[in-house]
Amino acid sequence: MTGRRWYAPWLFLAPALAVAVTFFIVPFGNTVVLSFTDASTLGGGHGARELRTAPG
């Protein structure tokens, strides 16, 4: 692929790569990072437990 249009295939691949990165690679990376941290979702469920046991 010599010439001036070496970038043409990348222009066609760019939208697919953007979708793949946005919806697959970033969430996967976030999952890996969160698996090695002491993070809890929704405050560890304490708020939901208080709502279930609240009077009234």
For residues 43 and 41, what is the distance between their CA atoms, to the nearest angstrom?
A: 5
3-state SS assignment for residue 5: coil
Residue 9: the pLDDT is 92
Q: Is the dihedral of CA 24, 30, 34, 36 positive or negative?
A: positive
Q: What is the DSSP letter of 6?
A: T
- Return averaged pLDDT per consecutive 10 residues of the chain, 56 residues in all: 81 95 93 81 59 65
Question: Is the pTM higher than 0.75?
Answer: no
Contact 48, 42 (CB under 8 A): yes
